[in-house]
Homo-oligomer: A and B are copies of this chain.
Amino acid sequence: MKTETSIQGLSASLNPARSARKIIGFIPTMGNLHEGHLNLVREARKLCDVVVVSIFVNPIQFGPNEDFDNYPRTLEQDSHLLAEVGCDIVFAPSVEQMYGHHPRLTNIRVGEITNDLCGLQRPGHFDGVAVVVTKLFNIVQPNYAFFGQKDYQQLAVIKQLVRDLNMPIEVIGVPIARAEDGLALSSRNGYLSAEHRQIAPVIYQSLKQAEQDLHAGKALLDVLTEIRMQLTQAGFVVDYVEARTPMLQKSDQFDQDIVLFVAAKIGNTRLIDNLQIKHIL
């Protein structure tokens, strides 16, 4: 496995593969990798000849009150994990390398679907994601890019961006990796106290209960209220519980496939999760 820290170095590393028309797979990350990220690499490994993972903590997707400076940077440990699952190239550029050479004047906004859910609490966050992903796509020029379904809204934003701008890339969403008790894997789980870690799986349990209830015919709005109650009772402060279509349009009836979204805080840690629910006729 190679590590490249400059755009030029990465291009030089990728050029032979590109000339040979090999299939390039790409996974953008902010590092501090867990099993969820490694699953993305395993998926990429199946489809692609060359797998590139970027590790870049992107300053422009953090809000002024967010934890850019304290975001965990664990490049050495991440590199060991990536080598084990068969990553070929790690791209770990500096902020200088990505943004430093001249003032950036360009912004990309994917409207409507970034205004609510996580976008409501994090103004500008998805603009920052759209810009960095576009830059990384243009630098790596992959055939496939892999994103976790855990950040479902982010995945939908990137699919929309790729479609709207005719980017020559196929975006693949990979199912959420979960701990045995159902908690969706996340870098943020490391912030949980032992006690809160015990409570955290209630999110997934409430989503699975909702799925059962919906298939049993219970009304969608009642099911959403139920989730909210369960979470509050368990000690969460709920940010949102919502149902959307797969492309994030609002939905208050379970008359097509839907996705249930939860964001809730336990202690100081904000957790998100979602569950795709098939509409069975």
Contacts and interface: CB of A to CB of B under 8 A. Distances in A.
Interface of A: 7, 19, 21, 102, 104-113, 130-131, 134-135, 138-139, 141, 160-161, 163-168
Given A105-B112, A106-B130, A135-B166, 11 more contacts: A7-B166, A105-B164, A106-B111, A106-B160, A106-B165, A107-B109, A108-B108, A131-B164, A134-B165, A138-B166, A139-B168
A160 B106 CA distance: 8
Contacts of A168: 138-139, 141
Contact of A104 (B130, B134, B164): B164
Contacts of A107: 108-109, 111
B165 A135 contact: yes
A96 to B, nearest CB: 14
A265 to B, nearest CB: 29
A160 B112 CA distance: 26
15 contacts: A7-B166, A19-B21, A102-B163, A105-B111, A105-B112, A106-B108, A106-B164, A106-B165, A108-B108, A109-B109, A135-B164, A135-B165, A139-B166, A139-B168, A141-B168
Contacts of A163: 102
A18 B39 CA distance: 32
A109 B106 contact: yes
Contacts of A164: 104-106, 131, 135
Contacts of A112: 105
A135 B104 CA distance: 20
Nearest to A114: B105
Nearest to A105: B111
A263 to B, nearest CB: 21
A52 B10 CA distance: 29
B105 A113 contact: yes
A56 to B, nearest CB: 13
Contacts of A161: 106
Nearest to A167: B138
Q: Which residue, of A102, A160, A164, has the highest number of chain B Cβ atoms within 10 A? A: A164
A99 to B, nearest CB: 9
Q: Which residue, of A111, A161, A163, A165, has the highest number of chain B Cβ atoms within 10 A? A: A165
